[in-house]
Chains A and B, each alone.
Chain A
Amino acid sequence: MKAQEIREILKQELGAIAPEVDLDTLDGEEDLRDEMDIDSMDFLRLTVALGKRLNTQIPDEDQGRITTFDSLLSYLIKRSGE
């Protein structure tokens, strides 16, 4: 899957969790939970939804590596290429 497609899927799933956020103005290097006001439960649902869409698993122990939009996107690109 191309990086652009993964980016779109990530945006769609973020939009499903926090539809009030304008994703175009998101700072990709800031803490995603602060930027989008998502809590631990939202984050859990997000990783489950992304895992399903991208046919991969996002282990809970990797949470510390995916705290920003950019780091989450890079992570997903890497995982879907594995």
Chain B
Amino acid sequence: MAFTLIEKSSEQRTSQPNLPAYQSGDSNPQACQIDGLPGGAINIAYEAVDRHLTKGLAHKDALRWHGKKGQRCTYSYAQLAEQTSRFASVLDSLHLQPGERVFGLAGRVPELYIALLGSLKFGAVFAPLFSAFGPEPIRSRMEIGNASVLVTTERLYRKKIQPWRDQLSCLKHVLLLDVKGELPSGCHDLSEQLVQADPLFPVARTAPEDMALLHFTSGTTGKPKAAVHVHQAVQHHIRSAYYALDLQPQDIYWCTADPGWVTGTSYGIIAPLCHGLTLIVDEAEFDPRRWYQLLQDEAVSIWYTAPTAIRMLMKAGDTLPAEYDLSQLRFISSVGEPLNPEAVIWGDQVLGLPFHDNWWQSETGGIMIANYAASAIKPGSMGLPVPGIEVALAKRLPEGKVEILPGNDVTGELVIKAGWSSMFRDYLGQPQRYQSCFSQGWYLSGDLARRDADGYYWFIGRSDDVIKTAGHLIGPFEVESILLEHPAVAEAAIIGIPDPVAGEIIKAYVSLHSGYSPDEVLRLSLLGHARKHLGAAVAPKEIAFRENLPKTRSGKIMRRLLKARELGLPEGDISTLESDEK
């Protein structure tokens, strides 16, 4: 079904858009300039926080936090500068060396934001972890990232870290941010240390190419990949937010993404602070009434959220938003997975503003393709390339080569001309895997898309077996490995099946060793096993038993075939099928 173009009217605007008419070239506006540090150094924390202190923003609210239990607290830019310096000073007192890795595992609490910026200020590398991960995803990521320090809460530490902490030899220090009673042995009380720390600890003069952030992502095979990002990535964070999110100094900005994922870091912390905005952070999980209340009470003007949340809001009804004054909202956008056209239109009709979808990945570090404030929206489309970013569609050829597909009305793999500042610089410890993402100067995204006659891009699908559930990328290997550790399981395969709210949910197919019965007791045992090790975000939501899983001659399970059958789609080429599903 074709959806009507959503045109923009200048009469509806409360401010002049940053990109009044779409252009593919970058004009490098003043608002996108970084200040930098002496000697050509660039530090993300300096650009996000400290540089604002001399520009009249010292007493402006940088962060307004809403706690689960109704608490509210604010940090001005000056207070954030002090707290992040204190955190950097704590790392110094622990004799950490610049470049060492600090991992963050916590809900959306101010201390996590301070830890991230403070780590960067010190010159350490910060790696955010999603707090809904179970012990296994946490451990494997900390091993891959060679974690020296972990910042977490007492509850998460006791539940998910303590049982195996001693086995992770690289981990030197655990900083607990909410110690109330007795401090668990081998941990530090972060609050106590912050009080004693230096409030004026200076920003590290990091080189533009120094490692700043590690973002974990998943592929079809093997363990998670740690995408390496450098300090000069901040240039693209600023520029992309200026164009694609239309950030302006007067805006109150709320990004609902968790900092455990790349959106919650690049656009939940770094970009809005670099633009000197006031940032809203909500600790609580999704709750439609709370969200509308927050949009109203904080007079949010720019809102960046995700398809799963938008679809949940749609489910909660069209009359609910009318109970709130959302008149301050001026630009709303979405990322994580393609936003269905119905949701874009729902925003326009019910909230009075259409959602602007955009596209990027952990590897790109920032938005690459977007719908813009002043440009017409084609509902369901990813939009147009961010000014200054060269996007193309390509066909893969033998021996790692690609052919760029010219013209419009074409379909191919999305590729981006390498060299933008927030491009990942490595998969930590996996240089060959990194190299295989590039060909002839292009980054190969693994996403398939179509470019229409007007140059708009439309997402088609992934070229691999990774699953996008509630906007989170999950690799089959990590889930299947845990299922195979259950004594009953002989084979396991994971696919994503369509879900009206989450986009996809994870479904596991398992075959059993002899002696085990495929019954409800075993299903619950498997589900519990997966949840205990992987956590709710990664564990399958559904489990199906099979006598045998379809395999190729070389013994590889054909997930593609399971998915086609699950969805009632054509099975495609099954010439390599050796042993079929039973």
Contact = CB atoms under 8 A, between A and B. Distances in A.
Interface of A: 15-16, 18-20, 31, 33-34, 37-45, 59-61, 63-64, 67
Contacts of B132: 37, 39
A61 B289 contact: yes
B531 A33 contact: no
A42 B290 CA distance: 19
Nearest to B538: A39
A38 B527 CA distance: 13
Contacts of B541: 41-42, 45
Nearest to B470: A41
B312 A20 contact: no
Nearest to B527: A19
6 tightest A-B CB contacts, nearest first = A20-B528, A19-B528, A60-B316, A19-B524, A39-B536, A64-B287
Given A33-B285, A37-B531, 5 more contacts: A15-B524, A37-B535, A41-B470, A60-B288, A61-B316
A4 B290 CA distance: 31
A40 B286 contact: yes
Given A37-B132, A37-B535, A63 B525 contact: no
B308 interface: yes
Interface of B: 68, 132, 134, 155, 285-290, 308, 312, 315-317, 320, 469-470, 499, 501-502, 505, 524-525, 527-529, 531-532, 535-537, 541
A40 B532 contact: no
A60 B535 contact: no
Contacts of A19: 524-525, 527-528, 531
A61 B322 CA distance: 13
Contacts of A40: 285-286, 308, 312, 470
Contacts of B287: 63-64
Contact of A63 (B286, B470, B536, B537): B286
Contact of A60 (B317, B524, B527): B317
B289 A64 contact: yes
A63 B289 contact: yes
A31 B284 CA distance: 10
Contact of A41 (B68, B501, B528, B532): B501
A46 B532 CA distance: 18
A63 B531 contact: no
Contact of B155 (A16, A34, A38, A64): A34
Contacts of B525: 19
Contacts of A64: 287, 289-290
B286 A20 contact: no
Contacts of B308: 40-41
Contact of A18 (B286, B528, B537): B528
Contacts of A18: 528, 531, 536
Contacts of A45: 541
A37 B107 CA distance: 12
B325 to A, nearest CB: 17
